[in-house]
Amino acid sequence: MAQSNPAQQHESQLHGSTSAKGVGGYLLHRAKPHLPPWLGMAGVGMAGALGNWRWEGSAAAGVGLTLASVALTGATWWAGRAASSQRRLHSAITVAAGSAWVTGACLAGPAAGALDDLYLMGGPVLALSWNIRMLLRTSDGAGESSDKGLLEKVGLARMQLGQVRVEPNRVTVPYAIEGGEGTNDDVSKALPRLASAVDVPTSAVRNRRDPDSAARGELVIVPRDMLKEVIWYPGPSSPGGSIAEPLVIGVYDDGRPLQLTLPQAIHLLVMGVTGAGKTEGAIDVLCEALTRRDVAVWLSDPKRGQDLGEAFPACDWVVDTPAGAEIMIEALKAAIPARQKWLGDHAYRSWEPAAAEQQNDPAHSCQQGTACGCPGMPYLLGWFEEAANTLRATDDDVFTGIAQEARSAGASLVVSMQRASGYQISTDTRASLPSSLCFGVDERDAGFALPSEVLDAGANPGAWGNKRPGYCYLCSAGVDEDLWSTPSRTFRNDPVTLEWVAAAFESVRMGIDAVTAGAAAGVAGQLYTNRTAAETQEDDTMDAEPLIDAEDANIDPERELPEDEQGDDTPIFGQDAGHKPDPAEARQLLAAAIDEFEATGQMVIGPKDFTDWCDRNGYSRPWVSERLKEAYLEGRLADAGRGRWRIVPQMSHA
């Protein structure tokens, strides 16, 4: 016969007959859950009486019973490791008291001494304590049941939850998975379903793994998004301080400051789709960096100052073309060994704030035993905004060497782009950028900026896209790893603030050091040495652009055309027309073309840059390639890799 469920039985008992039989059945039904402790008490008494009949006065039995009592208590404690601490302690005390009484009763008799009184008083107390625990657990039991039901829904039925910690806008729940029944990876996979079950955004549920266990950790739930409120940049966090101090660029979702320490971050990848707040994040970082006393900034901005133009006056060097970015990269390559040598000569294993001061410490001197008094060397920040443009014009691996060597030279790279995919930046370069500031991205691109363990912990920048500008994750050395998967938001900022910072802290910032400047001038020539004048000249040219080409400026339109000269060819079908220079003259023309490239600031060249020259003079690109190799052997060019050559500046220009 099919049995009715407990709810139906309870309903029938409430509304059924009120006869003595019905009342007795109801009371018996209500008493049954509370009988086990009393039955256990009776069993202990019977065990003591039977044991006394068998082992009264036996020394060997006393040893055995004592060992059994200790073993049973220890087994109870071990078996309760997954239960709450209160239940575990209660169980161990009950077993220890019962087994101790049985041992005494078996050896001396249940009624010997105070054993009978202990049984009659202690037994009911222990039994009632379990009854009271059961009564008080009525509401908790519902919670336990609902928790189990929730965990079953999300596929984590084998997971045990620990004591819940409730903090302002944060709930932390320790968890443990039964051995062999699952891992932390299963918890990470279930996070979206868990977020759905508790009705919060996916990014509001995170998994903090225990680094010493594959089956333990903490679930962190943030029920309310505290980042929705815009916070404007509050001003410099450490005006006049060192770049080695943290830059405060925003807040986490629990109100803690979002801090980035560049010398610890080493190199930074900034990534986010259009409209995700990447530019405001850049302004936040620059606003903080440009208020520090010991940093110099080299900035490549293909957007020509559209967003970061207010920072240009505060930077030591700014370029805004692909050719300029290419030569800035070459200058960084040259500056790194020069800076490393200076730091090594002054006994610095890596850059530190003291390296930016005048070297008055004999321990940091390039002269043995005495203070050298050399000027200091500022930290160098190479910032490449919209780096995808630079990479398309150069090579996807162009930053790799710099990223691998710049740390010991007191230099950091910031590479900002929308997608750091393998089509735009090499995997070696991306691996050499150990820190990332990831704004909203396409869901498929999150793995390009964030480590897999951060994504497994619940980080999900793909959920934002460009719908929540400024929302980001920061993964960097010097930041607690628990915060890597914690959402944050950069300050709201504007170019006016950046312009104020650039002007107000001009006297605070130290200038570029002679070592770095010399290395840059040795590579970029007048593109670096005349960088301020070049910017002014460019602005003037834009204001008054000539209406005719410079080469045509002195032509008299009324003058008769010249007669044919010796060497001119008569145009014949199938033959080249015009005067073709001899080899010596061609080499001179090529040398002049190289000088012209240097004069215009294009310091990295290749055969493709001579296309127009070849068309004018009737030479092929292979011929130009051979002449460029000759110029390399003569020292006029240096190998820039990838079939391109870097112009070595003339001494007069340097």
How many structural domains compose the chain? Answer: 4
In a domain, 282, yes or no: yes
What's the CA gap between 200 and 192, in Å, rounded?
10
Q: Final residue of a domain: which of 92, 109, 136?
A: 136
pLDDT on residue 220: 84
Examine the domain organization and report whether 296 and 432 are in the same domain: yes
Examine the domain organization and report whether 72 and 197 are in the same domain: no
In a domain, 540, yes or no: no
In a domain, 40, yes or no: yes
Q: Each residue of 390-401: pLDDT tens digit?
A: 777 676 677 877
Q: Final residue of a domain: which of 109, 136, 163?
A: 136
Going by their DSSP bridges, the two strands 295-300 and 379-384 should be labelled as parallel
Q: Each residue of 523-580: pLDDT tens digit?
A: 888 888 887 643 433 443 333 334 344 444 455 544 554 554 444 444 433 444 445 5
Q: Each residue of 244-261: pLDDT tens digit?
A: 999 999 999 878 899 999
Q: Final residue of a domain: which of 187, 221, 255?
A: 221
Contact 176, 219 (CB under 8 A): no
Examine the domain organization and report whether 186 and 132 are in the same domain: no
Alpha helical stretches, state H, 247-321: 262-265, 278-289
Burial class of residue 496 in the structure, from the number of CB atoms within 10 Å of its CB (0-12 exposed, 13-18 middle, 19+ buried):
exposed
Helix (H) or strand (E) holding 166: strand 165-167
In a domain, 204, yes or no: yes
Examine the domain organization and report whether 273 and 211 are in the same domain: no
Examine the domain organization and report whether 297 and 407 are in the same domain: yes
In a domain, 372, yes or no: no
Examine the domain organization and report whether 444 and 297 are in the same domain: yes
Contact 130, 142 (CB under 8 A): no
Examine the domain organization and report whether 307 and 412 are in the same domain: yes
Cβ contacts of residue 612 below 8 Å, gap of 6+?
Answer: none
| Residue whose C-alpha is closest to residue 171's, from 206, 196, 127 | 206
Examine the domain organization and report whether 251 and 302 are in the same domain: yes
Number of residues in the chain: 654
In a domain, 74, yes or no: yes
The single-letter DSSP state of residue 640 is E
Share the mean pLDDT of the chain.
78
In a domain, 342, yes or no: no
Examine the domain organization and report whether 59 and 169 are in the same domain: no
User: 316 in helix, strand or coil?
Assistant: coil
What CATH number should be reported for the domain holding residue 460?
3.40.50.300
Examine the domain organization and report whether 504 and 394 are in the same domain: yes
Q: Each residue of 323-365: pLDDT tens digit?
A: 888 889 889 988 999 999 999 999 999 899 999 999 999 999 8
Which is higher by pLDDT, 466 or 428? 466
The yes-or-no verdict on residue 600 having pLDDT over 60 is: yes
What CATH number should be reported for the domain holding residue 598?
1.10.10.10
pLDDT bucket at 1, cuts 50 / 70 / 90: very low
Residue range of the domain that includes 631: 580-654
User: The whole model's pTM is what?
Assistant: 0.63
What CATH number should be reported for the domain holding residue 177?
3.30.1360
Examine the domain organization and report whether 61 and 182 are in the same domain: no
In a domain, 291, yes or no: yes
pLDDT on residue 139: 45
Examine the domain organization and report whether 216 and 182 are in the same domain: yes
